[in-house]
């Protein structure tokens, strides 16, 4: 016992014993602990993506959506550029955060999308974009359906934020500030392809004639016309000059908006179902407010809807508590940014001599 106490009395032996104990404890703790490592650029995420108002963003959904994106980003040699992969992961996380915000807002405002409305919207999108398959969009069918449902919820959220009608003084002020929005041609020169109908026709016959006109339009237009539906001519179309007095108001409004060589959608008049192709537009005039009051309200509301849609993301984010864990991990891996390279020695620039002390 006396020898042990004497040994401990030597300072160097005490330091050695302390160092050995600390080292052994560190090794024991290190072996017993598994440290979480951030996922590589192309790998699925194994840690939390984000939390929105206390709700965890689904890591499974993130990885499910990330995998086809990663495959699409790979080079021919299979390599995945880390900066690009990181940016795409960050963008995907922000998308999922926005989707959660939309769902939360819809739940708070008690908005729903019926299965019938969702089926109709899915069918409409397939008809509008027949070549944009779900595979091309890199979404599984259930995810594509969820995406369309979210779009419909956004429509409802935006609709609730814009009144349906406006007082006359507001409409008149909008008309006065934006006269160019309501200018119409004095006439339009068009090619008119008519599928005629008669007053005696039943609903089934009328529907058949309408479908005939729609089929003719598809045949006339190029297979992938995209943007404007233009054509060199309308086979068997009759060239004619029309004014607002010759056609119903809704048909004239659509004709007034046509661009050169553009083919209209199928439009109905008393004579039947028409396809119009714009050849020439007459001089434009600005009708008085009373003549275009309904159109002013429609244009004003459409503009406000677009503004509210553009600002919806900011509105929802401004009142939400968002913890983006993926962004935090990426920032930690990137390290501190070089703000003017603070560690770089400042340049020693020659200073002007004080007045009266020039050498």
Q: What is the pLDDT of residues 61-117, one digit of tens each?
A: 999 999 988 888 888 887 888 888 899 999 999 999 999 999 999 999 999 999 999
Averaged over 142-158, what is the pLDDT? Answer: 94
Model pLDDT, residue 226: 53
Say what the alpha-carbon torsion angle 76, 78, 84, 85 is, to the nearest 10 degrees.
150
Alpha-carbon span 150 to 148, nearest angstrom:
5
Q: Does the pLDDT at position 230 exceed 90? A: no
pLDDT band, residue 246 (cuts 50/70/90) = very high
Q: For position 128, what pLDDT does the model report?
A: 62
For the segment 274-301, the average pLDDT, to the nearest whole number, is: 94
pLDDT score for 223:
62
Residue 101 and residue 50: Cα distance in Å, rounded?
Answer: 12
354 pLDDT exceeds 50? no
**What average pLDDT does the segment 282-308 reach?**
94
Residue 133: the pLDDT is 45
Distance CA 249, CA 323 (A): 53
CA–CA dist 204, 202 (Å, integer) = 6
Write down the pLDDT at residue 154: 97
- Lookup: tokens for 201: 């026709």
Q: How far is C-alpha 234 from the chain's CA centre?
A: 36
Average pLDDT for the chain: 83
Which pLDDT score, from 0 to 100, does residue 222 have?
73
Q: Given a cut of 50, is residue 318 above it in pLDDT? A: yes
Contact by Cβ (8 Å): 152, 159: no
> Is the pLDDT reported for residue 224 higher than 50?
yes
Choice between 106 and 33, residue whose per-residue pLDDT is larger: 106
pLDDT at res. 344: 42
Least confident of 23-27, 310-314, 327-331, 342-346: 342-346
Note whether 293 and 273 are within 8 A (CB).
no
Whether 230 and 275 have beta carbons less than 8 Å apart is answered as no
185 neighbors 273 (Cβ within 8 angstroms): no
Average pLDDT over residues 306-329: 96
pTM of the model: 0.69
Identify the pLDDT of residue 34.
42
CB < 8 Å & 24+ apart, contacts of 16-25: none
Q: What is the mean pLDDT of residues 173-188?
A: 94
Length of the chain as a residue count: 359
Q: How far apart are CA 93 and CA 84, in angstroms?
A: 14
pLDDT of residue 17: 47
């Amino acid at each position: 016992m006396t020898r042990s106490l004497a040994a401990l009395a030597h300072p160097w032996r005490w330091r050695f014993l302390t160092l050995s104990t600390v080292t052994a404890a560190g090794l024991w703790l290190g072996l017993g602990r598994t440290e979480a490592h951030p996922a590589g650029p192309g790998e699925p995420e194994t840690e939390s993506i984000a939390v929105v108002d206390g709700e965890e963003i689904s890591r499974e959904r993130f990885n499910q959506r990330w995998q086809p994106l990663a495959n699409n980003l790979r080079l021919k040699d299979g390599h995945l550029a880390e900066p690009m992969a990181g940016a795409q992961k960050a963008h995907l996380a922000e998308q999922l955060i926005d989707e959660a915000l939309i769902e939360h807002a819809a739940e708070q405002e008690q908005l729903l999308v019926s299965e019938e409305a969702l089926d109709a919207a899915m069918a409409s999108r397939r008809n509008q974009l027949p070549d944009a398959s779900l595979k091309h969009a890199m979404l599984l069918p259930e995810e594509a359906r969820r995406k369309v449902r979210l779009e419909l919820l956004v429509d409802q959220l935006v609709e609730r934020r814009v009144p349906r009608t406006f007082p006359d003084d507001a409409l008149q002020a909008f008309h006065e500030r934006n006269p160019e929005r309501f200018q119409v041609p004095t006439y339009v020169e068009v090619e008119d392809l008519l599928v005629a109908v008669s007053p005696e026709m039943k609903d089934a016959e009328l529907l058949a004639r309408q479908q005939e006109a729609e089929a003719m339009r598809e045949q006339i237009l190029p297979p992938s016309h995209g943007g404007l539906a233009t054509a060199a001519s309308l086979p068997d179309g009759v060239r004619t000059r029309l004014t607002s007095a010759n056609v119903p108001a809704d048909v004239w409004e659509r004709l007034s908006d046509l661009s050169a060589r553009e083919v209209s959608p199928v439009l109905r008049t008393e004579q039947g179902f028409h396809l119009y192709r714009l050849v020439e537009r007459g001089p434009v005039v600005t009708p008085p407010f009373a003549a275009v009051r309904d159109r002013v309200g429609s244009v004003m509301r459409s503009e406000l809807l677009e503004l509210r849609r553009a600002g919806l993301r900011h509105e929802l984010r401004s009142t939400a508590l968002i913890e983006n864990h993926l962004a935090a991990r990426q920032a930690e891996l990137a390290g501190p940014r070089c703000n003017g390279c603070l560690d770089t020695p400042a340049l020693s620039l020659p200073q002007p001599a004080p007045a009266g002390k020039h050498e």
